[in-house]
Structure 1
Amino acid sequence: MDLRGFLKIIARRWPLATAVLLLGIAAGWTVTAVTTPVYEARTQLFVATHSAEGDTTQLNQGQNFSQARVQSYAAIVATDQVTEPVVRDLDLDTTPRALASRITAEAPLNTVLINIRVADTDPRRAAAVADEVAERFAKVVEELETPAGARTAPVRLGITEHAAVPSVPVAPNALLNLAAGLLAGVLGGIALVVLLETLDTTFKHHTALAELTGLPVLGIIPFDKEAPEHPLVNAVPGHSPRAEAFRRLRTNLQFAQVDERPKVLVVSSSMPGEGKTNTAANLALSLAEAGIRTCLVDADLRRPCVARTFGLVQDAGLTTVLIGRAGLDDVMQEGPGGLSVLTSGAVPPNPTELLASARMAETLKDLAGRYEAVVVDTAPLLPVADTVGLAPLAQGALLVVRASKTSREQVRMATEALRTVGVRTLGTVFSVVPTAKSKGYGTYGSYEPRSEEKGRHRMPVPRTNRAREGVALSYLAGDK
């Protein structure tokens, strides 16, 4: 993954990354808010040695002696010999060991100084304990250094700096906590986004789809927020990006098989909700718009949507022909632009058997003889076996894949299912592709009709089909 790909991932999932970042900052602020302030008082001692007055040699020896011993003295500060009397004398509500954990002592190298720090939640108590620890520590050291039988110790510890009452707490460090929360939020957000991207096996770009299937991507259908109101592209005035995308699909499909163009084309998808019916309906409209005699057949006998989309009668259609109760001329309906539409008819109890029957083969052959192109909308491949039985009766197939929804495994299984039954898969259609808003020439974008156009440009119901006039159009990018 290069830097550009990584930045695209972050941009695509920026709401999640931002939420984790804000959560990290909030955690840092919360830690600061709930932590009890801790104050630190500091005192300093000087270690001196007794020497004969004016004796330079003894003075130098004493200095070296003090520097050699001062590191050991610092280790005595937090011992029970020091802390027990301090707890008792100050009547502290703690134990000597607990007090020792709040005391730190250090002796800078090449000096005879000892710095003592005491931390406490009460600033005044911290200063009092620091001074008491310094005094008690000086006595303990002098007692330890006094030789047996001697009256004075060779060293003497004097307090050079008494503890002052601290005014600013040393903990919590608000800036440090916020910085830590910010860093944790950034790293956590990046890690979560990368993890989700790794686990996400859906397609974000058409090139990945082509690489997996080995099939050309014949069409890229952009997401259009107006599609729920205008599912059919010719219901939208002007040249919307979605309409142009279906025209490109029509052109690419004509180039896909120059020598042997399929008359009967099956349009399917791996799972429901990928936009197969929307693709089939608008592809058929685009072909009819180009002057090609086209018939759209609704062969999704589980959850048919074509009749509702065009505002046509569904009760009589394909199933009526298959059971011999009517002929094609009796149930064929007229769609916009000269498009002929064969709706599904009544939903049967045995769709798989009907679609794989000899009667279905005869019906498709009859349609191929009447029309230059027959577009068949079928059921999804993976949930049911309807399309697997129907597909061999066609001369070609299109597989619709929805961006950011269809997984790689689903597409692999769908293409394998079509390959197994011997149908020629011409290519794929990448549907509902999110695109950046752009008004440039030849770019995808969302068509935004003028306010006075909304609700006025709906697909008219043909005069021959007034039985279902007023049926609302449905958006088939989410067809069932």
Structure 2
Amino acid sequence: MDLRGYLKVLARRWPTVLVCLLLGIGVGETATALTTPVYEARTQLFVATRTGVDTSDLTQGQAFSQARVQSYAAIVPTRPVTQHVVRELGLDVAPEELASQITAEAPLNTVLINITVRDTVPARAARIADAVAGRFITVVERLETPKPAAAPATAAEATRPVASPVSLGVTQQAVVPTAPVSPNRLLDLLAGVLGGLLLGAGVVALREALDTTIKTSDALGEFTSLPVLGTIPYDRSSVRQRIAMDAASTSQRAEAFRKLRANLQFAQVDDRSRIIAVTSPVPGEGKTTTSINLALSLADAGMRTCLVDADLRRPSVAGSFGLVQDAGLTTVLIGQARVEDVIQEAGGRLAVLTSGAVPPNPTELLSCGRMAEVLRELAAEYDVVIVDSAPLLPVADTLGLAPLADGVLLVVRASKTGREQIRNAAESLSRTGTRILGTVFSMASAYKSEGYGYGYGPAEVPVPRLAATHEEPAKAAAPPAAAPGGAVDVLPRSSVGEK
């Protein structure tokens, strides 16, 4: 995945990034609140050499001090200094623990020593810094003081005092700090923000690696190498009402099904399919909704259309239109009725052959010779026959039915259907020699705008009719009657969810 693709993934999964960012900020604020404040006091010493006033002596003394000042800085946190300070101030810490609170540095080319002490109490930090400086001066001067000779040569030498060649003085006393140096709230907050963003990016990358579902229609076309004939946006109302193709509807879903109809027509310019089966890899992907609305859109375009409910395990076409389900396809297949006896109409514009009673052997019924005869009868009577079939992977019903159709539409649900499921479904159809006309990407993210803004009214642009294989009567047919407001004249629809 390139950078642009990864940024798109981050934008799509922004809630995850936001949660991780807030988590990082919370951790930073918690770390600041739980960390004990630490204060820092500083003192500074000057190292001088006891020499005469001669210029050469001064130069040599300066060089001597600079050469030894680095060694002096290393003596500051040693035990001879810290042990005395602990005893002098009555501190309840070990000399080694106090040494960990002390740092000393000697800037290059200077004779200065900077002593820094950290403590949780600001006044105590200043007292410790001054005490360390005082004790350090004593220790260094004692170390630098030459030892007297074992036997003085003269009486004058015996009485002459022995002095240290170096002199240390305090140039800056410690000041009680007013603000802690730790924790640094701004630094903790920035660390939390950075950590939250990195965590969010990592979680998104992990989810994307583990998520095998298809997110876009482009990805679906690239994965299957099949044309994506339609992208149907998700609509919450579709859970309660499958039918989007009311006569005057200009909703996004209605326009998407009209576009599916147009793409299906143009995809079959040279070889028109009279019998089109609609299926999906697994249940709940919107195949029944696609079947119903595709059939209605074809009927609205002036084509004589028949919708067949061949999902004999979970039939729902009859409930969507408020039609009678007991007499239908299974009634015809077992020889109890003829096709024309059980065909029903939805709104005067669409013929519907419901499933009939649910049989105990749907796979055998759908693959029998009588089923092929029924489909041929319907194809001879209607321009297009849309067959809503069962999902491919859970049951074998559609594998026996698919070869009887001229082509199959494979419905895939956005962000739900896995790549392996799509591959297995397509391979199953290919093994039966079924022609896959293309895919339909259902329940995709809706467009940003509710309308198109081109000034189109409710009227629909005429779409060329599918070529028929039989002669039609040479007379003008009256358009099908519509209910007031352009709605389909049917009984109340069922409240079941999309299939």
Q: TM-score, normalised by structure 1?
A: 0.90
- For the Cα contact (< 8 Å) 2:326–2:357, is it kept in 1? yes
Match of 1:288 in 2: 299
> Residue 333 of structure 1 corresponds to which residue in structure 2?
344
SS of residue in 2 equivalent to 1:260:
coil
Residue 440 (structure 2) pairs with residue 440 (structure 1): no
Shift of residue 292, structure 1, vs aligned partner: 1.5
Alignment of 1:58 with 2:60, yes or no, is: no
1:293 Cα deviation after fit: 1.6
Match of 1:464 in 2: none
Asked if residue 47 in structure 1 is aligned to residue 59 in structure 2, the reply is no
2:29 paired residue number: 29
- 1:12 corresponds in structure 2 to 12
**Cα displacement (A) at 1:3:** 5.1
Partner of 2:224: 213
Give the alignment partner of residue 368 of structure 1, picking from 373, 376, 379.
379
- Residue 173 of structure 1 and its aligned partner are, at CA, apart by 0.6
Question: In 2, distance between residues paired with 1:165 and 1:25?
Answer: 32
Native 8 Å contact 1:310 1:459 kept in 2: no
Give yes or no for the alignment of 1:183 onto 2:205: no
Give aligned-pair identity as a percent. Answer: 62
C-alpha distance 383-442 of structure 1, shift in aligned 2 (>3 A): farther
C-alpha separation between the residues in 1 aligned to 2:72 and 2:268? 93
Cα offset, 1:234, TM superposition? 2.9
What is the rounded CA distance, in whole Å, between the counterparts of 1:152 and 1:339 in structure 2? 118
Contact 1:127–1:163 (CA under 8 A) maintained in structure 2 = yes
Q: CA deviation at 1:364?
A: 1.8
1:453 is aligned to: none
Show the 5 A alignment for 1:49-448. Answer: 49-52=49-52, 54-149=53-148, 151-235=162-246, 237-438=248-449, 439-441=451-453
1:239 counterpart SS class: coil
Give how far 1:427 is off.
Answer: 0.8
Question: Residues 457 and 155 of structure 1: is their aligned pair in 2 closer, same or farther, counting only changes over 3 Å?
Answer: farther
**Per the alignment, in what secondary structure is the counterpart of residue 134 of structure 1?**
helix
User: Which amino acid letter does the alignment assign opposite residue 28 of structure 1?
Assistant: G
Distance 2:372 2:436 in 1: 19
| Distance in 2, Cα, partners of 1:23 & 1:457 | 52
- In structure 2, do the counterparts of structure 1 residues 381 and 142 end up closer, same or farther at CA, with 3 Å as the change threshold? same
SS where residue 239 of structure 2 aligns? coil
The amino acid that maps onto 1:25 is: I
Matched residues in 2 for 1:33 and 1:458: separation?
63
Q: CA deviation at 1:197?
A: 2.7
Root-mean-square deviation (Å): 2.1
Larger deviation: 249-258 or 63-72? Answer: 249-258
Shift of 1:336: 2.3
Q: Give how far 1:255 is off.
A: 2.1
Alignment check: 8 A CA contact 1:120 1:126 kept: yes
Shift of 1:310: 0.9
CA distance in 1, matches of 2:442, 2:492: 28
Number of residue pairs the alignment of both structures matches = 457
Deviation for aligned residue 1:102:
0.9
The answer as to whether partners of 1:289 and 1:337 remain within 8 angstroms in 2 is: no
Q: Flag structure 1 segments of 5+ consecutive residues without an equivalent.
A: 444-455, 462-468
Kept in 1, the 8 Å contact 2:144–2:166? The answer is: yes
8 Å CA contact retained: 1:309, 1:475: no
CA contact (8 A) 2:409 2:440 kept: yes
Q: CA shift at 1:4, angstroms?
A: 4.3
- Which residue is equivalent to 1:448? none
What is the distance in 2 between the residues matched to 1:246 and 1:25?
46
Rounded Cα–Cα distance in structure 1 between residues aligned with 2:298 and 2:416: 28
How far off its partner does 1:139 sit?
Answer: 1.4
Paired residue for 1:451?
A: none
Q: Which moved more, 1:317-326 or 1:91-100?
A: 317-326
DSSP-derived class of the 1:235 partner: coil
Post-superposition offset of 1:303: 1.5
Distance 1:259 1:159 in 2: 100
Distance in 1, matches of 2:100 and 2:454, equals 72
Q: CA deviation at 1:118?
A: 0.5
How far residue 270 of structure 1 moved from its aligned partner, in angstroms, is: 1.1
CA positional deviation for 1:57:
2.0
Query: Residues 243-277 of structure 1, C-alpha deviation per residue, up to 9 Å, x if partnerless?
Result: 22212222221222223312111101111111111
Paired letter, 2:79 = D
Q: Tell me how far 1:387 sits from its aligned partner.
A: 1.1
SS of the equivalent of 1:308 reads helix
8 Å Cα contact 2:346-2:489 kept in structure 1: no
- Report the 3-state secondary structure (helix = DSSP H, G, I; strand = E; otherwise coil) of the residue aligned with 1:93: coil
Gap regions ≥5 residues in structure 2: 150-161, 456-484
Deviation of 1:470 after TM superposition, in Å, equals 4.5
Aligned residue runs from structure 1 range 461-472, under 5 A: 461=490, 469-470=491-492, 472=494
Q: CA deviation at 1:152?
A: 2.1
AA aligned opposite 2:68:
R
Q: Distance in 2 between matches of 1:442 and 1:95?
A: 83
In the superposition, relative to structure 1, how do residues 377 and 385 fare at CA in structure 2: closer, same or farther (>3 Å)?
A: same
